[in-house]
Copies of this chain bind each other. A is one copy, B any other.
Amino acid sequence: MSGHDRVTLADVAALAKVSVTTASYVLNGRAEQMRISAGATERVRAAAVELSYRPNRVARNLRTATTSTIGVISDHVASGAYASGMLTGAATAARGSDRLLMIGESEGDRLVEATLIEEMLDRQVDGIVYATRTHSRVAIPAILQNHPVVLLNCVDTEGLYPAVVPDEVAGGRLAGATLIEAGLGAHVHVIGEDATPNAIAGPLRIQGLRSRLAEAGHNLAGVVPCAWDVRPAHAAINAWLDQGARPSALVCLNDRVAMGVYQALTERGLEIPVDVSVVSFDGSELATWLQPELTSVALPFVELGARAVEILVQADLSTAGVTRVPMPLLAGASVSPPPRFEADGG
C-alpha cells in the first residue's frame, strides 16, 4: 500500500529533529533568510526526501488565502473546436508560474456563468481569466468586481478590465499588404461582412485592410456580406458571381468563408491563385487542408491564452490596459506571386 499521502510537516520535523517552524522555513526556501543552520537545513531536506513529503496545499491555502490556481471562465472555448488553443496557452503559462487551471464553460448561459464564477471564487482562485470564443465586446458580470480579472479575446463594454486580444487591425493591414505585394491592391473584395452585434473582429479587419490599401493609393473594390460559415459563403459567392462579378483578389473574413469560396470558384472552373487570389483570417487547420493551401492571417490563440495568464499573474492589473497580440501570416499558395517588373540578376 503506497501513496498514503499522510506525511505531514510535523513528521518531517520530527525525523529531522527540528521544530515544524524550522522545517517550514527550509522547505519554503527561507532557510538563508531565517539563518537556519546548515546542519538543520540539510537534515530537513533529507527527511523530506526520505518521507516523500508533499505539503498539503489545502492546508496551506487556508492559511495563506491563496491557492496557486487560476480560473478560466468561458462561453464555448473548450467546446468549440478552434479556439481551444487559448486553453493550451493558458495552461502552459500557468504551469510556468506553478499554477493550475480550473475551467468552467457557461455555454452562453448567464446563470450558469454566474454559478461557475461563484464556485471558483469560493475555491479562492487567485484570479480569473474571462474568455470568449469569438473576439467580442461583452458585459462582465458584476461579481467579478474587486477580483483579479483578465479578459481573453474580448473587451468589456465599460473598458475597465485589462484585456488580451488579437491585433485585428494590424491583421487586416497584413492581408492588404499581401495582396498589394501581388500587385492586386486595386481589386480587393471582402467576403464575409457580418452584422452580428458585439462581434468586433470583422469591422476591425476591414478597417485595417482599408487603411493599408489607402496607403498604396487604393480603395476597397467591394464587400460581399455573408455569415461566417462554409455554406452561407458558398451561397453568397455563387449569387455574386451569378450577377456577373469577376473578382481577382478576395479577402475572406475567416477560413470557413474561404472554404465556401474555394468550392464556388472550383465549380466554375476558376483556378486559385491563377484566376483569383484568396487571403483569409484565422489560420486554422482548415487552411492547410485546402487545395491549394490557403494563405491566412492567423489568430494567435495559444499566445493569447498565455499572455492573459502572464498578465494576471505578474502585472499590476490596474495599469494593464488592452494588450494586442500580433496576427502572423500563415503563408499558403492561394495568392498569385507578385509580377516581376524587372528581373534582378540570377
Contact = CB atoms under 8 A, between A and B. Distances in A.
Interface of A: 1-3, 5, 54-59, 61-62, 65, 67, 69, 78-82, 84-85, 87-88, 91-92, 95, 98, 100-105, 107, 112, 115-116, 118-124, 143, 145-147, 230-231, 234, 256, 259, 263, 266, 284-286, 288-289, 291, 302
A120 B95 CA distance: 12
Contact of A62 (B58, B65, B87): B58
A105 B92 contact: yes
Contacts of A256: 289
A55 B285 CA distance: 45
Given A101-B102, A122-B56, A124-B58, A82 B81 contact: yes
Nearest first, the 3 closest Cβ-Cβ pairs linking A and B are A79-B88, A78-B87, A81-B81
A76 to B, nearest CB: 8
A100 B120 contact: yes
Nearest to A3: B146
Given A3-B147, A95-B112, A291-B234, A78 B69 contact: no
A121 B5 contact: yes
Contact of A57 (B3, B87, B123): B123
A79 B253 CA distance: 23
Contacts of A288: 230
